[in-house]
Amino acid sequence: MDKAKILFVDDEHDLCHLMKLTLEQNPRYEVTTAASGEEALQKARAAHFDLVITDFRMPGMNGAELLRALKALRPRAPVVICSVYHDDPKTIPADIHREADGIIGKPLDHDALEKTIQEVLNRG
């Protein structure tokens, strides 16, 4: 069985490193990281990812802009947003909730993240 290719995007380098190590403990995942929305979009143009998990608040291209750019590039590509503000409608508007394939809270809970990953991958 092929590994699911996941792109994890966050401007916190240490979190990217930790998530790569954590997620790759599951032998079914191959994780690539990006430290910005721009870098993530560049990587998504160069390679196919089964899932993109992105922080919402980042300098430069934020998670909402990345979500829309990824959906324009590959409309069926699953994108999950993660944010400390995941349940604040003033911060993450309803249209982002509709466009994203999932929204999870930060700090990231491994079990909740794993559940979200499996749900999104199983939809595809």
* Domain spans in the chain, listed from the N-terminal domain onward: 4-123
- The predicted-structure confidence for 81-110, as pLDDT tens digits, reads as follows 998 855 555 677 788 889 999 999 888 888
At 89 the pLDDT is 57
Q: Around Cβ 86, how many Cβ atoms within 10 Å?
A: 16
105 phi and psi angles, rounded to 5 deg: -85, 155
Q: What is the pTM of this model?
A: 0.93
pLDDT over 90 for what percent of the chain? 77
What is the spatial distance between Cα 58 and Cα 8, in angstroms, rounded to a whole number? Answer: 13
58 phi and psi angles, rounded to 5 deg: -140, 150
Count of residues making up the chain: 124
Instruction: Report which of residues 52 and 95 the model is more confident about.
Output: 52
At the second CATH level, the architecture of 4-123 is 3-Layer(aba) Sandwich (3.40)
